[in-house]
Amino acid sequence: MRGTRGAPRRRASPRARPTKEAFGEINVPLLAGKPFFENLTLSAAARITSVKSTRASDGASDSDNGNWTYKIGANWALNDVLRFRASYGTSFRAPALFEQFLANETSFPACADNRSMRKLDSRASPTGTKTQRVADNCAADGIPPAYTGGSITATAFSQGGLGQLNSETSKALVVGGVLTPKFGFLPDTSINIAVDYFDIKVKGEITQLGAANILFGCYDSEDFANEPLCNLFTRGQTGDAFAISEVYDQFVNIARQRNSGVDVAVNIRHDLGKLGRVSLTADMTWQTKDDFQLLPTSVATSDNGEAGSPKWIGDFRLNWQSAGGFSIFYGINVIGKTSDVDGFRSKPMATPASIRHHLRPLLPGPYHADDLLSQHLGHAGDCRWTV
């Protein structure tokens, strides 16, 4: 059991959230029907958004006005076989109602958070690695050098961030191409291959830090005396004046996140005449970067290849459809292996590759069957199937 939840979660209490927007788009064809320029088109779009949220209980409100976003793009078809495309744009997301208006809830940090907090109290980081900065800041806060950390569970309070949250913003670059080869010996076959590089940067993502991250951000700060995270917890419990008593874990804006990689999509369709039509589709992503920075003073970390963030995933689908409407679908979802380091073990914990098989015959009408078969590929040839 990781932890015990205290008071039940209460619903958000918004009264109104009017949104005003103005937008425009333009598409400019520059060249067409020229050598190496079968088609060249530029596009642009812009939008300005204003959002106001008001709380029903006391009328408190927060406005986020003048959010300017845009996107520019280019599409260059050399001929009927090869086409290049690119786009660059910005976006924003206003805080959700739940993130703004969540009424106070009480909980008890999970065991993992409690252990991390005890390590912080003993002048170590949540991973157990002692740093001089943490030790110095703990000493400045009056924590005795021999203090080993409190043994009593702290109480965490969560709430919305009305009036303190800013909108999330992002920038995205996508560059790629589409190949549609044609072969004389395959007159009834169409092939489309698309390859795109993407680079997405998110700033000010809205989230909850968690009790351990709040404490570590406080005591690992380069400006400890003015660190705002240090105002989000208190010390002092019965029998232990230095134990963490309360942690205030409201929704906040974190520093930044960056994700980049390559998307590949392949689609092949073949006309079988009276036997129907068959199609094969493959969508794959190679993730090259998944960086995350919690606080402006934090060191950026990478989750690429760790649990929940595999470096490669693939989705493969095969479909046959008869002339009479009957069809059979077979799909495979593949997730590449991941490896993570558990904060409470000395050895890395690895997740093997996973393959999910789908078989779905579709009959004319509202009836169909769907069978799922999963395969997990472990280490040293270990393989497990589930249905």
Task: Give one word for 236, left, alpha or beta, with left for phi > 0 and alpha for psi -120 to 50.
Answer: left
Mean pLDDT of 68-86: 96
Mean pLDDT of 3-9: 45
Which amino acid appears at position 179 of this protein? L
Please state, for a pLDDT cut of 70, what percent of the chain lies above it. Answer: 76
Is 191 domain-assigned? no
Looking at per-residue pLDDT, the higher value among 153 and 70 belongs to 70
Secondary structure (DSSP) of 238-277? TTEEEEEEEEE---EE--EEEEEEEEEEEEEEEE-GGG-E
Q: What's the domain count of the chain?
A: 1
Is 359 domain-assigned? yes
Is 127 domain-assigned? no
Range of the domain at 301: 257-387
Q: Reply yes or no on whether the pLDDT at 14 is more than 60.
A: no
Residues comprising the chain, all counted: 387
Is 311 domain-assigned? yes
Is 365 domain-assigned? yes
For residue 226, give the 3-state DSSP assignment.
helix
* pTM recorded for the entire structure: 0.74
Cβ–Cβ contacts within 10 Å for residue 169, how many? 18
Q: Give pLDDT tens digits for 244-273.
A: 888 888 888 888 899 999 999 999 999 998
Average pLDDT, the chain: 79
Q: Give pLDDT tens digits for 119-168.
A: 555 444 444 455 788 888 888 888 887 777 766 678 888 877 777 788 89
pLDDT of residue 126: 45
With tokens 């995205």, the residue in question is: 172
Q: Where are the alpha helices (DSSP H) in the chain?
A: 97-101, 111-121, 132-140, 211-219
Distance from the first to the final alpha carbon of the chain: 28
